Structure 1
Amino acid sequence: MPPLLRGLTASISIAAGYLPIAFSFGLAAHQAGLDAHVILMSSVIIYAGASQFVLIALLAPGANLLAAIPTVLLMNARHLFYGPALLGRFTDPTHRLASPLLAFGLTDEVFAAAMNKLESIAPPEKERWYLGLQIGAYAAWILGTLLAIVLGGEFRDPPVFLGEALSFILPGLFFALLLDLNLSRWARIVVLTAAIGIILLQFLPVHHTLALAMVGGAAFNLPERRP
């Protein structure tokens, strides 16, 4: 199978999560009164998941772009670290695809999947495999947004169970990606991070707990210094 198609196949698990998340974004944007073309172009151009939900919260009450754009950029500043970490996995000296093309589709889930699987891809095929991974995820996000635009009028008052189900999609997606890793290799870090999170959750809000637990788990994974 060509590497591009293998990348598309590898994106199925991400696409399965992106469809309902993008649908919920489009539905929220539609209910906030944003025009259909604005909703669609935000997914086509911005393609930034949580940042698009924040953009709705800022633009719907009338905030101007001078306030919205810096907020979105700051939320996505983590990609400044994702890019260099991922670029080191492309070891083939014949670099064919432009870096902006490789960078555009870089999301949290694409990064996690690529970091896990690129090592098993032959060096000359890595870029095309990664491009397929990106295309599958991006297409699912656009499709989910389009479905929300088309069907938005049918969900003026969505049932409670639908909102609860959509809110679990993103954690479920990350859990599925975690299961796709070699957990025996990372078991100590996963257990330590979970333990830190459970303890801190008794004293801190969820968003603080999540950030501190990730930092704590990463600190335990620092390489040991050799004499």
Structure 2
Amino acid sequence: MKGVKSGLWDSLPIVAGYLPIAFAFGVAAVQAGLTPGLAMLISGIVFAGGSQFVLVSLLAAGGTVLTVAPTVLLMNARHLLYGRPIADLLGTGKRSVSPVLLAFGMTDEVFATVVSRMEGIAADDREHWYVGLQLGAYLSWVAGTILGATIGAEVLVRFPALGDGLSFVLPAFFFALLLSMKGRVLCSPTIVGALATAGLLLCIPAAAAIPLGIAAGAIAGCWSRRGK
């Protein structure tokens, strides 16, 4: 329990970022014609910020399951590359939590926090700390979606300027996470990802360039940790 509580505490920066982003998703989903219940279900099952916004946009544009599902899966494919560094940090001991559950809670923000902090966690506490970190992130994402889907429209009517701020929450949150990472952890994935994305934007649409740039950064991060 000590490890879980510590993970929940360390998830607070993620929680602070997820609540407004998930709130914005809940609002966007309802405005796109989805029911509040469906918006909550998407957050509860998919649990992937950027992909959920894309999913809603495609559904609103008339997309079908056959077109939406592959797009969302492709955007989330970068998470496959996160597994090796996380597994290395967790160690090879016996797992008390199902690997499926450990994988489900993986997001970009959780990964960034794990890579920058887990080495400072005692080896025996790492798995439970990781569970606590994921739990805090997941619950805040679902809670933010519920608020956005149920009362978001009323809030924006009362505070119209809030809508402009919500549109910048996601990139601002990623930038804050970037600043929290240091040294070698920051350098290789960030530089490679940024250069790859910038180069790809010159020749292909942003919808494809950004996920590919993210994947390039993740590959660089895995490569930089090889043999460790």
Q: TM-score range by the shorter chain?
A: 0.7 to 0.9
CA distance in 1, matches of 2:155, 2:210: 34
Whether 2:107 is the aligned partner of 1:107: answer: yes
Q: Is the 8 A contact 1:27 1:148 kept in 2?
A: yes
Whether 2:68 is the aligned partner of 1:68: answer: yes
Whether 2:46 is the aligned partner of 1:46: answer: yes
Q: Is the 8 A contact 2:189 2:221 kept in 1?
A: no
1:50 alignment partner AA: G
Q: Kindly tell me: are residues 130 and 170 of structure 1, through their superposed partners in 2, closer, same or farther at Cα, counting changes over 3 Å? A: same
Q: Is the 8 A contact 1:190 1:217 kept in 2?
A: yes
Q: Map residues 1-227 of structure 1 onto 2, 5 A cutoff.
A: 2-91=2-91, 93-155=93-155, 161-183=161-183, 185=184, 207=206, 208=209, 215=216
User: Sequence identity of aligned pairs in percent?
Assistant: 43
CA distance in 1, matches of 2:72, 2:96: 30
Name the count of aligned residue pairs: 222
> Which deviates more from structure 2 when the two are superposed, residues 107-116 or residues 54-63?
54-63
Q: Is the 8 A contact 1:193 1:214 kept in 2?
A: no
Q: Kindly tell me: are residues 134 and 220 of structure 1, through their superposed partners in 2, closer, same or farther at Cα, counting changes over 3 Å? A: closer
Residue by residue over 1:134-179, the C-alpha shift from the partner in whole angstroms, topping out at 9 and shown as x without a partner, is 0000011011001112213415658663233112212222222223
Bigger-Rg structure (1/2): 1
RMSD of aligned alpha carbons: 3.3
TM-score (normalised: structure 1): 0.81
Residue by residue over 1:105-143, the C-alpha shift from the partner in whole angstroms, topping out at 9 and shown as x without a partner, is 100000110111111111111110000000000011011
Q: Is the 8 A contact 1:7 1:132 kept in 2?
A: yes
Instruction: Return 5+ residue gaps in structure 1 as ranges.
Output: none
Deviation of 1:25 after TM superposition, in Å, equals: 0.5
Q: Kindly tell me: are residues 123 and 194 of structure 1, through their superposed partners in 2, closer, same or farther at Cα, counting changes over 3 Å? A: closer
CA distance in 2, matches of 1:44, 1:162: 25
Residue by residue over 1:41-96, the C-alpha shift from the partner in whole angstroms, topping out at 9 and shown as x without a partner, is 00011111111111111222432222221111111111111112211111151221
> Between Structure 1 and Structure 2, which shows a larger proportion of helix residues?
2
Q: Kindly tell me: are residues 99 and 161 of structure 1, through their superposed partners in 2, closer, same or farther at Cα, counting changes over 3 Å? A: same
CA distance in 1, matches of 2:214, 2:71: 24
Q: Is the 8 A contact 1:196 1:216 kept in 2?
A: no
Instruction: Return 5+ residue gaps in structure 2 as ranges.
Output: none
1:101 alignment partner AA: L
CA distance in 2, matches of 1:177, 1:196: 19
Q: Is the 8 A contact 1:189 1:217 kept in 2?
A: no
Q: Kindly tell me: are residues 11 and 219 of structure 1, through their superposed partners in 2, closer, same or farther at Cα, counting changes over 3 Å? A: closer
1:170 alignment partner AA: L
